[in-house]
Amino acid sequence: MLIRENSSGVPLYCDDVAMQKEYRQIPDEIFDDPHIKRLQTICCLMISIHNDIISLPKEIHREGDTVNLIKVLQQEYKLPIQEAYMKALEIHDNYLKEFFILQDHLPQFDKWQDLVLEYIQDLGVMVTGVYAWHTNTIRYLNGNYVKGEYKTGQ
């Protein structure tokens, strides 16, 4: 999960959400608050799990690919692929529950409270939007691979 958290690119999405609306007025110390950081981390983990679930059909045929959470769970716990899939969904749902609990129990941020809550809600919208993109692109269909934009030597 640490690899997925740090390789997903989602922290940049969280920063992009912070640049929208009036969120850029929120002081840095609020964005540095461990509660807010955990919410951002949960977004990373949920999006990574979405990616792993959706890309499983194409990755299941790739030998040695153990970055996909479902394949890792299958190997680590000696599970059939269906059980590993369900375990990944359970992990995702636990993160989702934690996200809602943290959202419902924000620390006091004084005059920033409403704006911070709106930011957190927009993080949830971001997660939903990335999931929608994952499910509406050919990138994750079996046999499709991302090709580099640039070719070496040119």
0.95 cut: is pTM over it? Answer: no
Q: What is residue 138's predicted lDDT score, i.e. its pLDDT?
A: 62
* pLDDT tens digits, one per residue of 15-32: 777 777 888 899 999 999
- Six-digit token string for 117: 């809550």
* pLDDT tens digits, one per residue of 84-94: 999 999 999 99
Question: Helix crossing, 113-135 with 81-104: angle to 10°?
Answer: 160
* pLDDT tens digits, one per residue of 68-78: 999 999 999 99
Residue 79: exposed, middle, or buried by beta-carbon count in 10 A (0-12, 13-18, 19+)?
middle
Residue 148's pLDDT band (cuts 50, 70, 90): very low
What distance in Å separates the CA atoms of residue 136 and residue 133, rounded to the nearest whole number? 5
